């Protein structure tokens, strides 16, 4: 998580999840860890990057829209989303994006 995701050549998809937490911690850390693990087992998962200060940004990378859709509908993930809405997140925005181009340190 605390490294740069090793994604394939574009095109692929990114889901940018930007969020602000409530002060309710109950069960949050455990669920977040579980969701990272579960996401990484899904078909089409390509990688994830996540950072939090006050603001949290988690970017997950996916092969196509179908794999994003399937992950959003995953039963355990739906339960996590429900608890997120109710307890853990004061606000969030999810952005589904087509990565058209990327470059790293050596290609900049």
Residue count (the chain): 108
Supply the minimum distance, in Å, between the C-beta of residue 20 and its own copies. Answer: 7
**In sequence order, what are the beta bridge partners of 21?**
89
Q: If binding is defined by CB under 8 A, does position 87 make contact with its own copies? A: no
In the three-class reduction of DSSP (H, G, I as helix; E, B as strand; rest coil), residue 106 is classed as: coil
Q: If binding is defined by CB under 8 A, does position 9 make contact with its own copies? A: no
* Residue from 48, 72, 43 nearest 59 by CA: 48
Out of 25, 26, 40, 95, name the contact with its own copies by CB under 8 A.
Answer: 95
Supply the minimum distance, in Å, between the C-beta of residue 17 and its own copies. Answer: 10
Q: Which residue has the tokens 């998962």?
A: 45
Closer to its own copies by CB, 2 or 41: give it: 2
- Are 67 and 77 within 8 A, CB to CB? no
Sites of contact with its own copies (CB under 8 A): 1-5, 7, 10, 14, 16, 18-20, 49-57, 59, 81, 85, 89, 91-105, 108
């Amino acid at each position: 998580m605390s490294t740069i995701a090793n994604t394939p050549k574009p095109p692929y998809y990114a889901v940018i999840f930007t969020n602000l937490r409530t002060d309710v911690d109950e069960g949050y850390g455990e669920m977040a860890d579980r969701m990272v693990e579960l996401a990484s087992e899904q078909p089409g998962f390509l990688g994830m990057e996540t950072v939090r200060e006050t603001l949290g940004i988690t970017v997950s990378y996916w092969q196509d829209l179908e794999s994003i859709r399937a992950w959003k509908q995953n039963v355990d993930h739906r339960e996590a989303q429900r608890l997120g809405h109710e307890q853990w997140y004061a606000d969030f925005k999810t952005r589904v994006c087509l990565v058209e181009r990327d470059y790293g340190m050596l290609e900049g």
